[in-house]
Structure 1
Amino acid sequence: MCSAPPFGDELRSRLGTPRRARRLESSPRSRVWRAELSGTPVVVKQLVDAPEAAERYAREVTALRLASRVDPPVVPRLLGTDPDARVLVLEYVDGQPPREDWVIDHATALARLHAATGADDTGALPAWSGPTEADADSFLTLAQALGVAPPPGVRAELDALADRRSGTEGHALLHGDPCPGNDLHTRTGVRFIDFEQAALGDGLVELAYLRIGFPTCWCATAPPPAVLRAAESAYRTTWRAATGTDVPADLTDACAAWLLRGDALVPRAERGTVDHLAALPDRDWTWGTATARQRLVHRLGTVSRMTADADGGGALDGLGQLAAAVRSAMLTRWPTLRPLPRQRP
């Protein structure tokens, strides 16, 4: 284990020599230290040598620079970089415990982050990628494995959904993993960290996290309905103030897209390895605050309710019926499944 942050000659000449370095907890994909430069606390992050490390590093640096346009800030200041060593030096942000209704602050900052970019930034980051034909196949196969026959026309609905959520629309600066823990709550607002999966796309993709249960996060939660409504309202108000445009009212497509993503049932390191939806009938597994079956039941309930509501449109009526039937089948087979936790642990 490396005990000191990797600081090359160029960083030392620009920023000085780090002192009082201490390793911080981080994902397996990075090493992170808190240190001091001339008495000022900083964070040093190095992406470890691994597949796609260079791409993840480039995404993070680019996203931090794009997000630095926002004032008051929604990210720590980027003080220095060493691309050869994949090192970033960041302003140290002193986080504090979030409020009980923390998702309102989270959603407000998320809207400001999303509004940092526009059409002129096309190509600065990869476009967000939506669900694929393989995702749709896996979901329909899971339904059949649970004894649920998909209604006629569902396959066409899913193909149309994939076309609509192809990632080609929208220019919002997407965090890529806007989870509890990647948001530092401060006296002046939330600041986001860890942009290794940043992309450009439709901000609804990440606003949907609040309803669908934070799909890429170890901390899957379901805010109380009143808090959820307040958080979504705060996002829409903030987005309009920043851009002069309105956020579409309907989140059904965005939530349905997350329902189909079996990879959103496992940590990042396990994605793209196997068909995780296919494994659910035979086994369950815990990731963070919930099991995979808990997560999926929550998503199924969310999508079935949204498609039944007046503002859900009619484009996914068959999927809504299927989601309700699969959820009922899961609760019948595994009656002890509990709802997602209401609050951040």
Structure 2
Amino acid sequence: MDQILRTASALLGRQLTDPVDLGGSRRSTVLRCRTDAGGTVIVKAFTAEPESHRAFTAEAAGLALGLGGPELLAVDREFPLLVMADLGTAPTLADLLLGSDPKAAERGRLAWARGLGRLAAAGATRRAEFERLWARYDQGLPSWTHEPWIAQNAADLPAVLAAAGVEPAPGLAAELARIGTAGGERYFGFTPGDTCPDNNLLTDGGLRLIDFESACFQSVFLTAAYCRMPFATCWCVFEPPAALADEVERTFRAEVVASWPELAEDACWEQGMTEAVAVWTVDLTVGLLPRALPEDAPMHRTRRPVPTRRQLLGHRWAKAAALPGLPALSGTMERLLTTVASGWSAPTLPGYPAFEALSPGGRGGS
């Protein structure tokens, strides 16, 4: 920590003191530090592992675009480390969804969807700029824009299924190859990447995103799927009220239609969304099923309430089993449900706590 403070102080040209550890991750240490002028800044230092280098480059390049995150104050490519403006201690969307105020949670979800949609649309014409920024901060790994992770997941899925004793439905490989990038580069927009409920602050000035470690350009449908699933790669997953879920998706869609008018066509939208949900379901299955087979565990180390691995997998598989137009994927998900999930006896996911308190006649009632 002393080395982080010394490096960040030299980078800014002002003394930083009183570091407070904000948690970070296995890839980074995040500190709130006091400046000699009496204010505070956020210092984020990255570890030496390869994925940390990609995360640093993505965060530096993504924040340098100036679209929705904190102001980037300084970057040290060699450490690697960056310094950001401090956005304060406003609640996150996760705080609201796990809280007890349904109105605040509803406003937060809509603000989150609106902000993500605007971010995707605003960045639609800035891909070349992002590529130049990536080259400036490059640490030797490609961005997720160029990483063939969807194809790699499709290639890895058969072995994951075999380890669980599940035979894929006929035609699954060809079906996944056809899905490709869920809309392709025709609808590429900017995303911070990890657009989960805890990676934002709902400030008085509106939604501000705070994690750009996976920033890239990708199919706008892959971001939109976070509205429908909800939260494709996240731990904070419960069952949202149906009416609110529809409104959240409409809110996101209304923002991106300005840049891609074709997305106003229902057939185009539904095909892209179906493929995106399929992509993320395969991603979760490949990444999480090997860990869920030997034992169940909470999806977050400290936050509660939180679903378990097996709860989340069963929930995703049940949704994907009903996807239209993808019979091989749907069939494979059914096999996972009957062969694997049925033996887990994991309870179904309840609703988000913020909406569970509503009366039966309210928006979140059953």
- TM class, shorter-length: 0.7 to 0.9
Give identity over the alignment, percent.
27
Q: Which residue of 1 aligns with 2:15?
A: 17
Instruction: Please say if residues 41 and 86 of structure 2, whose CA atoms lie closer than 8 Å, have aligned partners that are also in contact.
Output: yes
| 1:109 aligns to 2:109 (yes or no) | no
Match of 1:257 among 243, 264, 279: 279
Q: Which residue of 1 aligns with 2:201?
A: 184
- Structure 2: how far apart are the matches of 1:52 and 1:138? 24
| Bigger Cα displacement from structure 2, 292-301 vs 252-261 | 292-301
Instruction: Please say if residues 95 and 185 of structure 1, whose CA atoms lie closer than 8 Å, have aligned partners that are also in contact.
Output: no
TM (norm. structure 1) is 0.80
Residue 240 of structure 1 aligns with an amino acid whose one-letter code is V
- Structure 2: how far apart are the matches of 1:3 and 1:340? 45
- Structure 2: how far apart are the matches of 1:298 and 1:131? 23
The answer to which structure has the higher helix fraction is 2
| 1:137 aligns to 2:158 (yes or no) | yes
Once the two structures are superposed, the pairs formed by residues 234-249 of structure 1 within 5 Å of their partners are 234-241=251-258, 243=259, 245-247=261-263, 248-249=268-269
Q: C-alpha displacement at 1:59, in angstroms?
A: 1.2
**What SS is found at the alignment partner of 2:321?**
helix
**What SS is found at the alignment partner of 1:302?**
helix
Could you list the per-position Cα deviations for residues 135-164 of structure 1 after superposition, in whole angstroms to 9, with x for gaps in the alignment? Answer: 332465367x15xx5443333212322x34
Residue 261 of structure 2 aligns with an amino acid whose one-letter code is T
| 1:5 aligns to 2:5 (yes or no) | yes
**Unpaired runs of at least 5, structure 1:** 266-275, 308-313
Could you list the per-position Cα deviations for residues 207-242 of structure 1 after superposition, in whole angstroms to 9, with x for gaps in the alignment? Answer: 21233343432323332211111111110112234x
Instruction: Please say if residues 238 and 349 of structure 2, whose CA atoms lie closer than 8 Å, have aligned partners that are also in contact.
Output: no
TM (norm. structure 2) is 0.75
Residue 64 of structure 2 aligns with an amino acid whose one-letter code is R
Aligned residues: 316
Q: Which residue of 2 aligns with 1:34?
A: 32
Once the two structures are superposed, the pairs formed by residues 1-345 of structure 1 within 5 Å of their partners are 1-2=1-2, 5-7=5-7, 10-13=10-13, 16-37=14-35, 38-66=37-65, 68=66, 70=67, 74-97=68-91, 98=96, 99-101=104-106, 102-119=108-125, 121-122=127-128, 123-124=131-132, 126=143, 127=145, 129-132=149-152, 133-138=154-159, 140-141=161-162, 145-146=165-166, 150-161=168-179, 163-165=180-182, 168=185, 170-241=187-258, 243=259, 245-247=261-263, 248-250=268-270, 251-262=273-284, 265=287, 276-278=288-290, 280-288=292-300, 289-307=306-324, 314=325, 316-339=326-349, 341-343=351-353
Q: C-alpha displacement at 1:3, in angstroms?
A: 8.5
| Bigger Cα displacement from structure 2, 16-25 vs 186-195 | 16-25
**Unpaired runs of at least 5, structure 2:** 97-103, 135-142, 301-305, 356-366
- Structure 1: how far apart are the matches of 2:181 and 2:70? 34
Residue 296 of structure 2 aligns with an amino acid whose one-letter code is D
- Structure 2: how far apart are the matches of 1:5 and 1:283? 40
